[in-house]
Structure 1
Amino acid sequence: MARFTRTRLAALIALGGTLTLAGCSVASPITTAHPYAPSDGIRVAVTDEVSVENLMILTEGEGQPGHLLGAVVNRSPEDVEISFSFEGGGASVPVRVDAGDHVNFTDAGITTQSVDAAPGSTISTTVSDPTVGDFKVEVPVLDGTIPPYDEFLDQA
């Protein structure tokens, strides 16, 4: 009889431990299930279906030309045009993306004439969509010291 009680007690303790550990995931949601920027750039959710992913600017120095890295992803059934305006003026950079498609800035060769921020800092940028408005964001400015960014600067 004592053996049966010990077995039952061990089973109850194991069940209690399992329930306690399972409760930890209730209080701590899985953060990787939410969209985030896993690299050096930033993410801008323009709408639920349109986003700018891993946006950053590469330059050899302040006042030098810049090379945009990242992509605009359009999961909507409509074509979109997203524009980027950088602090310090200069022309707005438009990016047209067909419905259900994406544009990789590297493949498209999107550049700016001049970057008014030093590598290692950020530059105030306005991301615009004519249907939803403007988003002011701080975009990281990097140089070619981190591989493979040096390869992209050679293309700028």
Structure 2
Amino acid sequence: MARTARPARPTLVAGGVAASALLLGACAPVTTALNYSPSDGSRVDLDEAGARGLNLMVLAESEGATGEVYGALTNDSADDLDITLTPTGASPVTIPVAAHDTVYLGVEDGVQILLDDVEVIPGANLGATLEAGGESESFFLPVFDATLPEYAEYVP
């Protein structure tokens, strides 16, 4: 009894699907190489100046209350920099950051930045600008209250 040849179509289809998946995977960006904010605050990169704002946030009891800025300012450049933070509705604050150094905001040994009147409710974002070395970037500062237990003792 003679057997008829089975078409190789299922094998070809499976091979085509596997090749397509490999091709798409090779085209996908490597997300671990992207800059991101690993915590609740915002990250701002001023690449030309060599400065960064890390995990920047405001802690405040309510809208219209006093708020305090937390996070860090880093200077990766070879020169000392003055980094200016300007939250919406507040006066600009300039912090000197030495070359290859980081200044922490809101912590006991760091720089204290108090905002007299936070213009948004906790849970919203407050507009801000970070400037250093002639470069400027607008971003949003998230505002938190004592709802999250990890921030409760730090809310002014």
TM beyond 0.5: yes
Query: Does 2:104 correspond to 1:101?
Result: no
Which residue of 105, 115, 121 maps to 1:118?
121
Query: Does 2:25 correspond to 1:50?
Result: no
Which amino acid in 1 is paired with 2:118? Answer: V
Q: After the TM superposition, which residues 2-151 of structure 1 pair with which residues of structure 2 at under 5 Å, given as runs?
A: 23=23, 25-47=25-47, 49-88=50-89, 90-107=90-107, 108=110, 109-129=112-132, 131-151=133-153
| Structural RMSD (CA) | 2.2
Runs of 5+ in structure 1 lacking a partner? 1-16
> What is the aligned length?
138
Inter-partner Cα distance in structure 1 for 2:71 and 2:64 = 21
Equivalent residue of 2:39, what SS?
coil
Q: Which moved more, 1:19-28 or 1:41-50?
A: 19-28
Inter-partner Cα distance in structure 2 for 1:145 and 1:98 = 35
What is the deviation of 1:122?
1.0
Equivalent residue of 1:78, what SS?
coil
- Residue of structure 1 in register with 2:10 after alignment: none
Equivalent residue of 1:152, what SS?
coil
TM-score (normalised: structure 1)? 0.77
Runs of 5+ in structure 2 lacking a partner? 1-16
What is the deviation of 1:18?
9.2
Which amino acid in 2 is paired with 1:105? Answer: L
Of Structure 1 and Structure 2, which has the larger fraction of its residues in helix? Answer: 1
Equivalent residue of 1:126, what SS?
strand
